[in-house]
Amino acid sequence: MPLSSSQLHVHIAAQDRPGILAEALSFIVQAGCNVVDIKQFVFNGLLNLSILLDGCDQSRIQDLRDSLSVYAEKMDFKATVYPWETEVRPDAPYSHRSVVTLLCDSMPSAGFLEITKIFAKLDINILRIEQLDSGDVHALEFVIGTREVHSSEEVLNALMKFKENYGVDIAVQEETFFRRNKRLIVLDADMTFLQCEVIDELGSLAGVGEEMKEITHKAMGGEIDFESALRKRVKLLKGLPEESLQKLSSSLPLTPGAESLVNILKHLGYKIALVSGGFQFFIDKICDNYGLDYGIANQLILENGRVSGELEGQVIDAEAKERALVSLAEKEGFSLRQVVAVGDGANDIKMLAKAGLGIAFNAKPIVQRQAQASINQSDLRLILYFIGINGKDLNELNELVGAGNVQSWL
């Protein structure tokens, strides 16, 4: 039914109990009005109910006000009926919507004050606040609106000082259907899925650990070209026996929450990929061990049971990671807006930018400045809050996958 330019808004505030909506609707039906929209929520036992009406007989509106008012006083709740002009709705100009998700240990009142003052100063309207979790992790969602089109970067830049002051992790995403309909996650391996840089571990085994770490640090911070840095480090590994690679592959430390994240996302039907600037030798073993769908990395040449010091084929650098993400999405038939990318290094920036949600995970500053979201805690499960999963859902999913109940989507 098309909406008229003049409507009525019935607002009820009460101590919650069964039957309040039915009682209000009985008066609305008697007045001959049509319900065109309705919103209700209960917070700490207090009901907040809004009903938008249309098609009311003007001669009966006062009777509706009077009868609701008398009944509300009798039943000890508050009821207000007032005109609602669609063209002057307070939220109407703020039609460009985003969701700001905050993760922290706790949020003091001063923190709430600071973020709301930032929004107010920028003429950002807070449309809804929802607490996703309040246990070990405090997770909050702010649905915000602006008058003009805005980017995630603009909102993140405005919140940078707040983020530093209160040690919060933040994601800013466009409020669309795709925010809660992600289907593919692409993760970097070293220092993201794994809690180490594999090439540095190999350097230690080859007796060139310090030199290797120095090159890696510069490459991941964007100080030197990734491909030249990789080839230089691979040359340092020349002569390392294959047995050393085998031994290392069986003892690589996973980042906390990695296995749980994989199990939950598999249960939800996600496709999971590792796209790494490391080596296929290790990525294949990780994919086999944890049932990942795709693994893409550099091919290390082995000759006579030893590392040759050379690579075979295309180097998986920043551009190759970006192409891999796009290719995997196309292969699976997913929109890029349905893709989550997670990484920590400068060679992940293009991949993060291409995905619907790009998360800088314990990342270098250059990466955090350019990503839609960042996590600075060592738990990959925190990603789940950024895709809209709340604490209650997470507990249920943990129980399901913990019991071995992995959903088949074939």
Residues serving a catalytic function are 188, 190
The most distant pair of C-alpha atoms in the chain lies apart, rounded to whole Å, by 95
- Residues in contact with 86: Cβ distance below 8 Å, sequence separation at least 6, in sequence order: 3, 5, 6, 7, 92
Strands (E), 242-363: 271-279, 294-303, 306-312, 339-343, 357-361
Measured distance between the N- and C-terminal CA atoms of the chain, rounded to whole angstroms: 41
- Residues in contact with 281: Cβ distance below 8 Å, sequence separation at least 6, in sequence order: 245, 249, 300
- Residues in contact with 37: Cβ distance below 8 Å, sequence separation at least 6, in sequence order: 51, 52
Tokens in use for 291?
Answer: 């049932």
Strands, sheet with 306-312, edge to edge from the N-terminal-most edge strand = 125-134, 138-146, 96-104, 169-174, 373-375, 357-361, 339-343, 184-187, 271-279, 294-303, 306-312
